[in-house]
Amino acid sequence: MSAENISNFRKFGKKIICVGRNYKALAAEQGNPIPESPIVFLKPTTSYIEPGQDIVIPPGCNEFFHEVELGVVIGTRAKDVAENDVMKHVAGYALCLDMTAMDFQLAAKADGQPWALAKGFDTACPVSEFIPKEKIPDTSAARLWLKVDGDMKQDSSTSDMIFPVPHVLSYLSRYFTLEPGDIVLTGSPAGAGPVSRDQVIDAGLEAGGQALTSFTFSICLEQTMHTID
């Protein structure tokens, strides 16, 4: 895949691989144990949206949650790559939301069912533009923040991750071949919480004291959804 297509990962990417419960504070808030290895799930690429589109609450969902996350965009194929070598396969980053139908997820967990609908519905993965790798020289020192209707709800450093980015990528590469244009969502920090129809999410990513990107998304129901090609 060309460098141009990688920076267009939202159109050409193959996989959205997500790691969950990667921040102790969030695991504690949600009453979950600290995992011994990364918790992994997938979203389909049809869940991508970009600024200008709306987040749509999936049909039947009554408890809808925001999670702000650092996304890592893969640049070159990686299979079974050690932690100390894996960052060379990274092309860059993106600011991402892991939108979650929490009531679906809780019901699925209770019943031992998969999370596909809870995490993979259309619009479940709002993403920023591509951020080149050089902009985040240290993936354990980036700031992620998220506001709902102007109120700060999430504001953390990636230094709080249980499994740092190189560990996550190396671990994933044992099971999945990481391919150019894939993105890895690295988990949500504390403060993930509910949002509802007509609310507005603002989120941002900073590194080295510099704002790298930010975006705004509105929450709507299906009837008011509009899309861009």
- Chain contacts with Mg ion (rule: CB under 5 A): 20, 67, 98, 188
Q: Which helix (H) or strand (E) holds 96?
A: strand 90-97
Binding mask 147-176 for ligand LVPGNMZS (x = CB under 6 A): ------------------------------
The tokens of 167 are what? Answer: 């560990």
CA contacts within 13 A on the Cβ side of 75: 15
Identified binder of ligand LVPGNMZS from the candidate list 6, 16, 17, 26, rule CB under 6 A = 26
Give ∠ CA 99-80-127 in degrees, rounded to 5.
20
CA 217 vs. chain centroid, Å, equals: 15
Residue 124 binds ligand LVPGNMZS (CB under 6 A): no
Q: Which stretch binds ligand LVPGNMZS (CB under 6 A): 1-9, 15-23, 170-178, 202-210?
A: 15-23
Alpha helices, H only, 82-221: 102-111, 116-120, 165-175
Provide, rounded to whole angstroms, the least separation between the CB of residue 189 and Mg ion: 10
Provide, rounded to whole angstroms, the least separation between the CB of residue 85 and ligand LVPGNMZS: 26
Q: Which stretch binds ligand LVPGNMZS (CB under 6 A): 16-24, 54-62, 142-150, 213-221?
A: 16-24
Provide, rounded to whole angstroms, the least separation between the CB of residue 88 and ligand LVPGNMZS: 26
CA contacts within 13 A on the Cβ side of 206: 12
Alpha helices, H only, the chain: 3-7, 9-12, 24-29, 102-111, 116-120, 165-175
Residue 67 binds ligand LVPGNMZS (CB under 6 A): yes
Binding residues for ligand LVPGNMZS (CB under 6 A): 20-22, 26, 39, 67, 98, 187-188
